[in-house]
Amino acid sequence: MAYRLEFVSSAQREFLRLPFAVRKRLEPHVNGLEENPRPHGVKAMAGHKGLFRIRVGDYRILYEIDDTARVVTVTRVRPRGAAYRGL
């Protein structure tokens, strides 16, 4: 049973502005969230209930999971240094 993948508008802009090579490296991880929203290596964000992160090289994909609606919402796609600012 697959989940629906959604992006917050700011996260979609962040993702589309990444260099092509980085975007191609992140795409399989982002798209894989539809089939398995909790893949190997996922971490729950301490202090932020329902927020998870995937580490892909120097980039972080932050997202929320709604199991009842079966929706995964990507909230941020940023380099490691900027991913956690303003949470």
Which residue is listed with tokens 């700011």?
10
In the chain, the number of structural domains is: 1
Alpha carbon of 29 to those of 3, 20, 47, 77, 86: distances in Å? 14, 15, 24, 11, 24
Residue 1 pLDDT: 66
Helix (H) or strand (E) holding 64: strand 59-66
Residue 13 pLDDT: 96
Residue 50 pLDDT: 86
Digit-coded pLDDT (tens) for 25-56? 999 999 999 999 999 999 999 888 889 999 99
Digit-coded pLDDT (tens) for 54-78? 999 999 999 999 999 999 999 999 9
87 within some domain: no
Residue 39 pLDDT: 93
53 within some domain: yes
Residue 79 pLDDT: 94
Beta-ladder partners of 7: 74
Q: Residue 30 belongs to a domain with what CATH number?
A: 3.30.2310.20
| DSSP 8-state class, residue 2 | P
